[in-house]
Amino acid sequence: MTSRTDAPAPPGRHERRLADRAARTNGTTRRPPETGRRGISPLIWVTAGFGLIGIVIIGVLLVSQGTAPKSVDTSDLKDSVVQVPIDLANGRTLGKADAPVTLDVWSDYQCPVCGQLAELVEPALIRTYVANGTLRIIDHDAAFQGARSSSTYDESVEAAAGARCAADQNLYWQFHNLMFANQVGENEGAFRDERLRAIATKAGVDVAAWDACRATGEHQAAVRAETADAVKLGINATPTMRLNGQVIVGVRSAAELGAMIEAAAAVPSPS
């Protein structure tokens, strides 16, 4: 008698699940391994691009702030009515080198009486005596007024240094005339830094070069040194003038000074 072999029972649901799980574990249904880097979202590239642009803009602004001169407002400045023969200007000197009469003037840009001399008297002397070769005017610094202020910023010294920097560009007299035309009291901010820059701009100077000149401090030191020399000469008030050596303290009328100039010109120079 042949023994009967029973056929295996078909797998149940539980067995099928186990078989499927085993197949997945053995890799038969595993996703093929990635061979490349996952793609980067376009949004990330856009964000990075904007960030780079922002960095470039900030860099340009920082560089421009360090090199470009600041904007200057000259709208509140008065024009000077003084006319100067520019062809006779040489730094702080005005007139021909061989003029028979020399008028040395020690002044302070904050001194109101110096302003009267510069605006009301000197223009007539320039028209009558400088233009015809009789008179030469030489300006000197006597920066006294700023020392009376408690501020560390000396308006008298800074104004005179600014004039010297303008002289380096052969624009001293344009700057000089605008300074006296725009006096506003003493140690009251008339010649604070931004206003000096406005005056320099109106005078036609290269403001970037003028700023660099003032930043060295050399002309401020020269102003203080010339002021100290004036004191050694006995000058303690502004304006003080010397007309061929004759000392004149304070302002005089154009007519009075004119008579003195003519008298000095009539005296033969020593041989």
Query: Tens of pLDDT along 133-189?
Result: 999 999 999 999 999 888 899 999 999 999 999 999 999 999 999 999 999 888 988
Report the CATH number that the domain containing residue 200 is assigned in CATH: 3.40.30.10
- Decide if 32 is inside a domain: no
Q: How many domains does the chain have?
A: 1
- Given a cut of 80, is residue 53 above it in pLDDT? no
- Given a cut of 90, is residue 76 above it in pLDDT? no
Q: At what angle do helices 207-215 and 218-232 cross, to 10 degrees?
A: 60
- Given a cut of 70, is residue 233 above it in pLDDT? yes
- Decide if 20 is inside a domain: no
7-16, 180-189, 201-210: the lowest-pLDDT one: 7-16
Q: Determine the pLDDT at residue 150.
A: 80
> Closest by alpha carbon to 140, among 171, 164, 162?
164
Residue 96 CB-density burial (10 A; 0-12 exposed, 13-18 middle, 19+ buried): middle
- Given a cut of 80, is residue 89 above it in pLDDT? yes
Question: Distance between CA atoms of 135 and 269, rounded to whole angstroms?
Answer: 14
Collapsing DSSP to helix, strand or coil, 102 comes out as strand
- Decide if 50 is inside a domain: no
Q: Determine the pLDDT at residue 71.
A: 60
Q: Is the pTM of this model over 0.75?
A: no
35-49, 103-117, 182-196, 254-268: the lowest-pLDDT one: 35-49
- Decide if 10 is inside a domain: no
- Decide if 60 is inside a domain: no
> Closest by alpha carbon to 105, among 196, 162, 180?
180
- Decide if 225 is inside a domain: yes
- The strand ranges marked E within 99-202 are 101-107, 135-141
- Decide if 95 is inside a domain: yes
Residue where the block lists tokens 């979202």: 41
Give me the chain's average pLDDT, please: 83
Domain span at residue 231 reads 86-266
Binning pLDDT at 50, 70 and 90, where does residue 259 land?
very high
Choice between 25 and 51, residue whose per-residue pLDDT is larger: 51
CA 8 to chain centre: 103
- Decide if 47 is inside a domain: no
- Sequence-distant (≥ 6) Cβ neighbours of residue 125 within 8 angstroms: 103, 135, 137, 254, 257, 258, 261
- Given a cut of 90, is residue 1 above it in pLDDT? no
Question: Distance between CA atoms of 201 and 146, rounded to whole angstroms?
Answer: 23
